[in-house]
Chains A and B, each alone.
Chain A
Amino acid sequence: MKNYTSSNEPTSATCPACGLLCDDLILNATGAESVKNGCAKSITFFEQSFQTDISASASLFGKPCDLNTAISAAADILRKSKQPLFAGLGTEVQGMRSLMRLAEKSNATLDHMHSESTVRNTLTMQNSGWLTTTLAEIKNRADVILAIGTDIVTSHPRFFEKLVWNTDSLFNKPTPEIIYLSVPAENTQAGIAPNGTSPTVIPADTASIPEIVNALNALLHHKKIKADTVAGVAISTLQAVADKLKSAQYAVVVWSAASLKFTHAELTVQSIVQLINTLNENSRAAGFPLNSGDGDTSINNTSTWLSGYPTRSRLVNGKPEYDTYHFSTKKQLDLCDALLWVSTFNPHSPPDIKTPTIVIGHPNTQLEHQPDVFIPVGIPGVDHAGLMFRVDSSITLPLKKLRDNHLPSLSDVISKIEASL
């Protein structure tokens, strides 16, 4: 077993591998149980992280070079560029702060790798608003949890362990009832309570979620539905769900924008929000939108307090602009004259384009086509400290440095590029 930490003592760590941002992990130097409290996803993350090549060198077109040469080459590209695209943006708060400064100096467009999903939620929030909750409220209050189109645990593995099957809660609530809507039956194991109680599983296609949520809304408004079924689901089943939600002390409706893969998914998010609003006219309920990861929540919050806008934004002579349609990576790849790709948590590869490309990220980034500049940097929460927003945006937690090495941090590198512009 490899040594995870620089010391031989067990070290506590905060896991950046998903939006739950668990900070109760203990990394042991040796032993079978090398990550205590970790889930499979976190173990994969830390194993992948600790296997990185800490002596990875910067390179120009695949040829190793020293860091300063790479930095001035990157600065050259940005200096010549009129409209660079900063994409990926897999980083935490401090990395994003430095990227925003560089973007301001280079008139860059900014978009995160998972914004296709994030934007579905943001648009809803900007259109109608919403009523949401946070992890500790779920843990202590939720007695009915409706998961729409997501099994929750694939993206947020410890959700049930930490927030649903907890035996201690402030108000002695019963074990929550779980309702899965449009989740494949084979993925609903996590919803089986420790006492063996099965979740309610309502099978349906992802594509029929909009129709079903609308039907639930109609039922909550006491509207008669003429048909016996909606998208193959019996109305009586939906009525039972509506009744459970209404009689809950604190119902929580979970969705994942990433799993709503159909056009105008934001309208479905809006129907979900409406359902929650209706419930709150008489009882208490709250929404819980899941995030996608790679620092999406962190970079959008940071961008917002620094420029007034979340990402899919652009800085033009210091002035921020915002457009969730035009400033998408997909659209901008055709228009930009330079690409800066950032992915520090995971070795995500940059999109393959002809324009000059700078890749700053994970030392193990797989590069099919050698970019003009590659600068390996440390992994936040492993190689250097950082700050990360949790899925619910309300909590920001420090990430720790767990091992010593010479990999620079993203903000070090970006600040140096900025200085040499």
Chain B
Amino acid sequence: MITLLKNGKIYDPAHKKDGVIEDIYIYQGRIIPKPLDPSKISQTFDLSGKVVMAGAIDMHSHIGGGKMNIARMMLPELQQKQAQETKLLTEPEAHICTPHCSHHAVPSATDTGFRYIEMGYTAAFEPAISPVNARQAHLEMGDTPMIDKGGYAMLGNDDYFLRMLAAKKDQKAINDYVAWILHATQAIGIKVVNPGGINAFKFNQRRLNLDENNSHYQVSPREILQSLSRAVHELGIAKPLHVHCNNLGAAGNFETTLNTMGASDGLPMHLTHIQFHSYGTEGDKKFSSAAAQISEALNKNKHITADVGQILFGQTVTASGDSMMQHLNAKHANPKKSVIMDIECDAGCGVMPFKYRDQNYVNALQWAIGLEIFLSAEDPWRIFLTTDHPNGAPFTSYPHLIRLLMDKAFRNETFAKLNLDAQAMSNLASLSREYSLYEIAIMTRAGASKLIGLNDRGHLGVGASADITVYTDQPDREAMFAKPDYVFKNGELVVRDGVVTKVVWGATHTAKPAFDIGVEKDLKDYFDKYQTMQLDNFKMSNDEISHDGRGSIVVHDNKQASL
């Protein structure tokens, strides 16, 4: 029972294959070498002229958990209105409409899985699980069909960690706590959102800069980043500390971002949705692009990776753990409403609908800034294609974004229609770069897999899980990436001509580094005194994900750094 994918044009950056014509053999869900006995081949797909890539991996997409459900619940009008529309390939959220399309900027769990696989994405990672809310995040992801998933647990605003930092606990104690959180929340990595700021907001601080202290704990974001990046590094989980910098969305925030790059003393860090953190204060409107400075620093600092968080025009909803900055920006909500929460001495959240308009100076410039960063990044292995779904745009707009990156004429044409003042403040038209298919494959496959440490996904080598996407090579890259000819998930054909033909359920990826269980002694005391649930109920068991026979857990290796 071997499946043969014959004569495809292979784009597999992990193996430096840039459009070579090769065959791929699939057996029991994995890619195998050419079999000695060809009679075992039971199924052949002739892929002559077709583009073949590994299934795409979205390394940062808000797909599950409390704030996504708040976004759905507070915006029934989005789903109602958009249920009546059919999307065209010329719109930013291009995709092939199915009878039950919702087009909600935050689709239901079911639709999330369907929309992803229809575009050839076979995995997506939720970047902001607040540890107390992990169970809900996994419930939602567990009801998301078709794709693999995983999550990053948020630390750095939880009172337990900040107490440790303020008490100058040693790094080993911090590492044990971080590892314990990874186990308890079934996460694959650690994220910090507005380090210290969400917590500071609860003490009525309204902004927090990198070297400013949280008024209660007297620790700074820089110290939080140092401690957490070191913990992540020493625990050896593949994924670097995932950082949403302080001062999200604020004019002039690029300096915070530049300084943040230096905060980890050279240890790896991933700066997420960097577009939202690349703003200067020049010009009449005191809002300008700092993409040049950010890109230069990004190119120079090899320990830093980033995803862009591109904005695209249209209605969406922003959902963030950053209650401090979302509260500050709530006046810009459109329609005008916002849900802000302080959560359980652990985290926060802020959710508000938002409409990016191409004739609005700031929005138009945000659009240009994202693209400027993409086009100025020298190393495609260190930059990732995201819209910070749904914050910059729904993930269904990826094909549109890919076209903007690959097609200069299309990009400049779109740019020429934007707010004129914004055009005057951007050098986008002078950037002539066009991304190649190979570079797109790096950003959306090989690089993402390497960053997260997925080993057997994101490439097409022998032994890899057969998550494979096949496209027709078309000059209109948006049409091409919106509608793959075939998508294989673990070797099974699940999408044909952009439409799901079989429903499957992906695995949940986790990291479980070793730690000293002694850490629970103090935690138990803390929970009993200050929390409102039992320590044992905070922890999620493997069984909770796999008991229904549909979900499964993959534990990724970690290479414990020598201490």
Chain A residues with a Cβ under 8 A of chain B: 12, 14, 23-24, 93, 97, 122, 125-137, 139-141, 162-163, 168-171, 249-250, 280, 283-284, 286, 300-302, 304-310, 317-320, 322, 387, 389, 392-398
Contacts and interface: CB of A to CB of B under 8 A. Distances in A.
A128 to B, nearest CB: 5
B273 interface: no
Interface of B: 64, 66, 68-70, 72-77, 79-80, 83, 99-100, 102, 104, 106-111, 130, 132-133, 135-136, 139-140, 143, 159, 163, 201-204, 216, 327, 330, 333, 336-346, 351-352, 529-534, 537, 544
Contact of B74 (A129, A280, A305): A129
Given A309-B72, A393-B66, A129 B339 contact: yes
A397 B143 contact: no
A241 B513 CA distance: 51
Contact of A301 (B79, B83, B136, B343): B136
Given A139-B530, A308-B102, A394 B132 contact: yes
B76 A170 contact: no
A166 to B, nearest CB: 8
B69 A304 contact: yes
A168 B528 CA distance: 10
A122 B530 contact: no
A133 B73 contact: no
Contact of B73 (A134, A171, A284, A300): A300
A170 B345 contact: yes
A395 B132 contact: yes
A353 to B, nearest CB: 28
B73 A24 contact: no
A385 to B, nearest CB: 9
Contact of A306 (B108, B132, B216, B537): B108
Nearest to B530: A170
A302 B159 CA distance: 29
A137 B345 CA distance: 6
Given A305-B108, A306-B109, A309-B76, A284 B339 contact: no
A396 B134 CA distance: 9
Given A23-B537, A170-B159, A304 B73 contact: yes
Contacts of A169: 530
Contacts of A97: 143
B344 A134 contact: yes
A70 B351 CA distance: 45
B532 A162 contact: yes
A128 B351 CA distance: 12
Nearest to B201: A284
A76 B373 CA distance: 61
Contacts of B530: 136, 139-140, 168-170
| Nearest 7 A/B pairs, CB to CB | A129-B337, A135-B532, A396-B135, A129-B338, A136-B344, A168-B529, A308-B108
B341 A126 contact: no
Given A23-B537, A280-B327, A308 B79 contact: yes
A132 B341 contact: yes
Given A125-B73, A300-B73, A304-B69, 9 more contacts: A14-B537, A126-B75, A129-B333, A284-B203, A305-B68, A309-B76, A320-B79, A397-B533, A398-B537
B74 A126 contact: yes
Contacts of B83: 319
B133 A395 contact: yes
Nearest to B138: A396
Contacts of B202: 137, 141, 250, 284
A162 B534 CA distance: 13
A174 to B, nearest CB: 16
A136 B336 CA distance: 29
Given A126-B73, A301-B69, A309-B79, A394 B159 contact: no
A125 B340 CA distance: 11
Contacts of B203: 284
Nearest to B83: A319
B139 A136 contact: no
Contacts of B529: 168
Instruction: Select the residue from B106, B338, B342, B534 with max chain A CB neighbours within 10 A.
Output: B342
B537 A397 contact: yes
Contact of B140 (A168, A170, A305, A392): A305
Nearest to A167: B529
A307 B72 CA distance: 9
Given A137-B342, A137-B343, A305 B109 contact: yes
B70 to A, nearest CB: 8
Contacts of A304: 69, 72-73, 108
A319 B133 CA distance: 28
A106 to B, nearest CB: 16
Contact of B104 (A12, A308, A319): A308
B76 A126 contact: yes
A139 B532 contact: yes
B532 A307 contact: no
B345 A140 contact: yes
B467 to A, nearest CB: 24
B455 to A, nearest CB: 30
A302 B333 CA distance: 26
Given A305-B109, A319-B100, A310 B73 contact: yes
Contacts of A307: 108
Contacts of A24: 534
A145 to B, nearest CB: 15
B557 to A, nearest CB: 29
A132 B352 CA distance: 14
Contact of B534 (A23, A128, A131, A318): A23
A19 to B, nearest CB: 12
B139 to A, nearest CB: 7
Nearest to B108: A308
Contacts of A131: 327, 339-341
A24 B102 CA distance: 41
Nearest to A284: B204
B363 to A, nearest CB: 21
A60 B66 CA distance: 41
23 contacts: A125-B74, A125-B337, A126-B75, A129-B337, A129-B351, A130-B340, A132-B342, A133-B342, A137-B202, A168-B530, A170-B159, A170-B345, A280-B327, A309-B72, A318-B99, A322-B76, A322-B80, A393-B66, A394-B133, A394-B341, A395-B533, A397-B537, A398-B537
A394 B534 contact: no
Contacts of A310: 73
A125 B216 CA distance: 31
B109 to A, nearest CB: 5
Contacts of B340: 129-132
Contacts of A126: 73-77, 337
A304 B65 CA distance: 11
A398 to B, nearest CB: 6
Contacts of B74: 125-126, 129
Contacts of A14: 537
Most buried by A among B327, B344, B529: B344
Contacts of A162: 532
A23 B111 CA distance: 34
